[in-house]
Chains A and B, each alone.
Chain A
């Protein structure tokens, strides 16, 4: 029962990731694609969490924390690059 519910959640998550990948390939502007990458990171975090409940293992929590931090830093860098043309500004 519980494994069935978790399996349905994983299937819904797969459809969400497919929608995000569609927008990532198709998206008309660059901020669309950055937004899609950010959402992909978030859905990956949810997928790893569901898998750690499914396998009853606490080994993947570092993966959750690391994907969260790296996805945030990548999104910030891309947003600055789109807005200013550079990532790190030098005086």
Chain B
């Protein structure tokens, strides 16, 4: 690494941009008031940030003359699974009755679920009826 190769310098700047995105996401993860808001802040920006960092690493070793299929698979897998896992966490948070923030003004998912449980009558003891019925709908 001889100091001022322009390709390596631009790759380092790409990696720095990725970590800045991740840092902003983590600030949102501390400061926002709600599980859903925090997931919203974290999922987008940290996925984009780690994608920038991994693509920068991939390009660095590509210009070194070393094509790494493992790193390519890592990029693909992180890009595919990070939004899915955040979606599943938010879904489980909503179904385990985590409260929304006090500043929230509307809750569209609740209205949709209540409309669904009017179609399929609710079992006693559950708030929105049969969970398997929700999945089949």
Contacts and interface: CB of A to CB of B under 8 A. Distances in A.
Interface of A: 1-3, 5-6, 8-10, 12-13, 15-17, 19-20, 22-23, 29-32, 34-36, 38-39, 42-43, 45-46, 49-50, 52-53, 56, 58, 61-62, 64-65, 68-69, 71-72, 75-76, 78-80, 82-84
Contacts of B20: 12
Contact of A46 (B5, B19, B89, B92): B19
B25 A16 contact: yes
Contacts of B56: 49, 53
Contacts, number: 175
Given A20-B29, A76-B88, A45 B74 contact: yes
A49 B93 contact: no
B52 to A, nearest CB: 9
Contact of A15 (B23, B46, B64, B90): B23
Contacts of A65: 70, 73-74, 77
Given A3-B1, A5-B9, A46-B50, 7 more contacts: A5-B13, A12-B20, A15-B26, A39-B26, A39-B29, A61-B68, A72-B81
Contacts of A68: 74, 77-78, 81
Nearest to B80: A72
A49 B91 contact: no
Query: Which secondary structure dominates where chain A touches chain B?
Result: helix
